Amino acid sequence: MEALRASYGDSSSDSDTDDLSPASPVTANSGEKDSISLPPPPLALLDSIVSTGSLDFFSTEPGVRVRNFPHVDGNYALHVYVPEADVPLSILCKDDQKFERALGREFHISLGRNVPLRVHQINSVISMLRQKLQLQKRYLIDFNKWEVFVNDDHTRSFLSLEITTSGLSEISKQIDAVNEVYKLHNLPEFYKDPRPHISLVWALGDIRTSLKGAVDVELRKLRAGGCVQNRIFTSKFCGIECKIGNKTHKICKLPDE
């Protein structure tokens, strides 16, 4: 047991903190559904948000990160996700260097909540996840909608790219499989109506109104200019990972093409 604890790092470390991704699909939408998929807002959007002083782009200061759950000795943060390391910044923005500084680089699609896991549950969770998810086929994921999300306790707001077409069905089935494993271990399941996405930038507090407003202004400019496309960019599904404490496990990995 002690050897197992040692391999997952100190349970009181930052591995118990949140993963800088939205914890719930609470959005700034007022009920209006946009049926047009649009390209990303220009760099001016970032400038306009930064000028308000509200957005802290992926700050690494120790005081910024907030736990999703209280620390308990012997607990390790569990997170199951699809890694998306190949986000093409050149497509998102012409000024790559400035955009690179604004973004985090560990993009991912969450397949389950970030929850505390007891040390004696680790092997069982990994084994069951692999059993249910190891046989996956490659598919394409279209990121085609900008959306604003806020986490459960309203401590963070996120500017995200949502998946609403290609890849949504496959990811939804993977979320169902993860939910089954969580349920068997008495862990909180994912949200009833999950909205798969990757988060690009985040801000402290609930600033959904100002952030959504800034996005809407830029998108209206693009509409007026006749700039419309079916997707922002497309990525290939390449596998699923599970992070427990400081250790990452490959649940399934497809061979490189």
Whether residue 236 lies inside any domain: the answer is: yes
Whether residue 134 lies inside any domain: the answer is: yes
The CATH number of whichever domain residue 138 belongs to comes to 3.90.1140.10
The pTM (predicted TM-score) of the whole model is: 0.75
Whether residue 118 lies inside any domain: the answer is: yes
Rg of the chain over Cα atoms, rounded to whole angstroms, equals: 19
Whether residue 34 lies inside any domain: the answer is: no
Whether residue 7 lies inside any domain: the answer is: no
Q: Hey, how many other C-beta atoms are within 10 angstroms of the C-beta on 110?
A: 23
Handedness of CA 127, 87, 163, 154 (dihedral sign): positive
Each residue's pLDDT tens digit, 93-145: 555 555 555 555 568 999 999 999 999 999 999 999 999 999 999 999 999 88
CA 47 to chain centre: 23
Whether residue 188 lies inside any domain: the answer is: yes
| Position 181 pLDDT exceeds 60 | yes
Each residue's pLDDT tens digit, 147-171: 889 988 898 888 888 999 999 999 9
Domain that holds residue 49: 43-59+73-250
Each residue's pLDDT tens digit, 201-226: 777 888 888 888 887 887 787 777 66
Q: What spatial distance separates the first Cα and last Cα of the chain, rounded to whole Å?
A: 40
Structure tokens at 207: 């600033």
Structure tokens at 229: 């496309």
Whether residue 8 lies inside any domain: the answer is: no
Whether residue 85 lies inside any domain: the answer is: yes
| Position 15 pLDDT exceeds 90 | no
**Bridge partners (DSSP) listed for residue 160:** 147, 199
In the chain, the percentage of residues whose pLDDT exceeds 90 is 36
Count how many domains the chain has: 1
Active site residue ranges:
108, 197
DSSP state of 17: B
